[in-house]
């Protein structure tokens, strides 16, 4: 049921924000809170989005299409960077949990339509690369937000992460370590300390 309620609540929040913006364009408060609310909506939807492969015809569970940065990229360029940032954070949290299955077999493996499973060696690599990508999209989105929105979105990030790992995940070390490593990797690339060539050579 949570797979449905969280995204539906996110859609309701997003629709309310845009309706309020259209109906009351003179309310400055809406302009201040629009991006943080869209970020929150994205976070709520993103945490559940990867497992929507259960509902999409033709996809197997742990689909590489939903367990990826595909949706945040589309939303970033076609809708709202703030919404994309929230989706990215939610998906990154979800994928960080998926990176520690009991065994890399069966339902734990990443799968694609027609191609099938990519195997136990590539599945964790796929998850990690997409976690890094999600953190990268979130960082790029935050860069273009006003200072007030950035502060609120960072507070939502902290609160959402604490909530997720206190309520949704019992084994926290590996997911948190993965998120931390992803954050440092993104920071290194964005700050120029690491180059994409060096990172690619490390994984290859």
Q: How many CB atoms lie within 10 A of CB 103?
A: 8
Query: Residue 161: which domain range?
Result: 2-203
List helix spans (H) across the chain: 2-23, 28-48, 70-78, 81-98, 119-143, 147-167, 173-191, 196-203
Q: How many CB atoms lie within 10 A of CB 134?
A: 30
**Do residues 142 and 36 make contact, with C-beta atoms less than 8 angstroms apart?**
no
Domains: count for the chain? 1
The string of pLDDT tens digits covering residues 51-83 is 999 888 988 889 999 999 999 999 999 989 999
Q: Which two tokens stand for residue 172?
A: 């926290």
Q: Which two tokens stand for residue 125?
A: 């690599």
**3-state DSSP assignment of residue 99:** coil
The string of pLDDT tens digits covering residues 81-104 is 999 999 999 999 999 999 988 889
The string of pLDDT tens digits covering residues 5-20 is 888 899 999 999 999 8
pTM here?
0.91
- Computed over every residue of the chain, the mean pLDDT equals 89
Residue 127's pLDDT band (boundaries 50, 70, 90)?
very high
Q: Which two tokens stand for residue 161?
A: 């992460």
**3-state DSSP assignment of residue 52:** helix
Distance CA 117, CA 172 (A): 26
Distance CA 49, CA 27 (A): 32
CA angle 105, 108, 109 (to 5 degrees): 75
The string of pLDDT tens digits covering residues 139-182 is 999 988 888 999 999 999 999 999 999 988 888 899 999 999 99
Q: What is the pLDDT of residue 106?
A: 86
């Amino acid at each position: 049921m949570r797979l449905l309620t969280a995204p539906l609540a996110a859609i309701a929040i997003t629709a309310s924000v845009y309706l309020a913006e259209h109906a009351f364009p003179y309310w400055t408060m809406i302009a201040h809170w629009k991006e943080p609310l869209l970020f929150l909506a994205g976070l709520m939807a993103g945490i559940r989005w990867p497992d929507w492969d259960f509902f999409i015809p033709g996809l197997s569970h742990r689909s590489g299409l939903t367990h990826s940065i595909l949706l945040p990229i589309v939303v970033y360029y076609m809708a709202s960077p703030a919404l994309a940032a929230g989706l990215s954070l939610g998906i990154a949290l979800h994928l960080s949990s998926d990176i520690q299955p009991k065994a890399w077999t069966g339902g734990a493996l990443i799968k694609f339509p027609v191609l099938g499973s990519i195997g136990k060696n590539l599945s964790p690599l796929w998850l990690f690369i997409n976690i890094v990508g999600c953190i990268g999209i979130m960082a790029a989105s935050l860069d273009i937000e006003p200072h007030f929105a950035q502060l609120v979105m960072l507070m939502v990030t902290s609160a959402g992460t604490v909530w997720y790992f206190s309520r949704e995940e019992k084994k926290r070390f590996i997911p948190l370590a993965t998120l931390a490593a992803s954050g440092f990797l993104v920071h290194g690339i964005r700050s120029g300390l690491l180059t994409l060539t060096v990172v690619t050579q490390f994984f290859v």
